[in-house]
A and B are shown apart, each in its own frame.
Chain A
Amino acid sequence: DIQMTQSPSTLSASVGDRVTITCRASQSISSWLAWYQQKPGKAPKLLIYKASSLESGVPSRFSGSGSETEFTLTISSLQPDDFATYFCQQYNINSPWTFGQGTKVEIK
């Protein structure tokens, strides 16, 4: 199976900061990558799919980039509602979905 590695595991930031989370795949997945946001006690919410496509209704301060094995999620100006845990997920064709271990964005 394809392994997904996120960094950092925890990130401390302030409102207004630019935040970047990295995800690496153990083999090429083209652009078959999604990013999810999860708040405590809630289900994950889709933010980005196909590496850089913004899901409908998601604020434009969220953006995704990358291809093959290296991907990033960027929040251009962190808002109070953005403190949460973020997961990357690969959905390469003919491979079982796998997720990263998560990045918790905390208030600095």
Chain B
Amino acid sequence: EVQLVESGGGLVQPGGSLRLSCAASGFTFRNYWMTWVRQAPGKGPEWVASITQDGSEKYYVDSVKGRFTISRDNAKSSLYLQMNSLRAGDTAMYYCVRVGYDILTGDYWGQGTLVTVSS
């Protein structure tokens, strides 16, 4: 069974940092693109960042470029999101998402980890 379990969210002050983690199991992690998607309360989801299977290519939404870094450790079947210079607008549930091999979009989502940026 595919499982994606996020951790690392919490309350942080504006300008602060957090590192989100996603532990994957039930599939061959190194074979899949992975993605972070966030969802602010009462809003639709928003794509944040994606990473290729070997981590050689990374893509970001414009609003987080230069502040967030996506990375992965295939030996540990883990995905990460380092978030710096956090803003109130970054407040959201953050989901770890597997990109389906043939589907080319998100086929499995974790349960999410909540990030709240507030003073």
A91 — which chain B residues lie within 8 A by C-beta? 104-105
Most chain B beta-carbon contacts within 10 A, residue among A42, A49, A55: A49
A100 contacts partner chain B, Cβ-Cβ < 8 Å: yes
User: Per DSSP, are chain A's interface residues mostly helix, strand or loop, or mixed?
Assistant: loop
B95 contacts partner chain A, Cβ-Cβ < 8 Å: yes
Residues of A within 8 Å of B, CB-based: how many? 22
Chain A, 37-95, CB within 8 A of any chain B CB? 42-46, 49-50, 53, 55, 87, 89, 91
Cβ 8 A contact of A46, one of B45, B46, B59, B105 = B105
Size class of the B contact interface (CB-based, 8 Å): 20 to 34
**B111 lies within 8 A of A89 (CB):** no
Q: Can you list, as one digit per residue, whether each of B87-112 has a CB less than 8 Å from chain A (1) or not (0)?
A: 00000000100001001111111111
Closest to B99 in A: A91
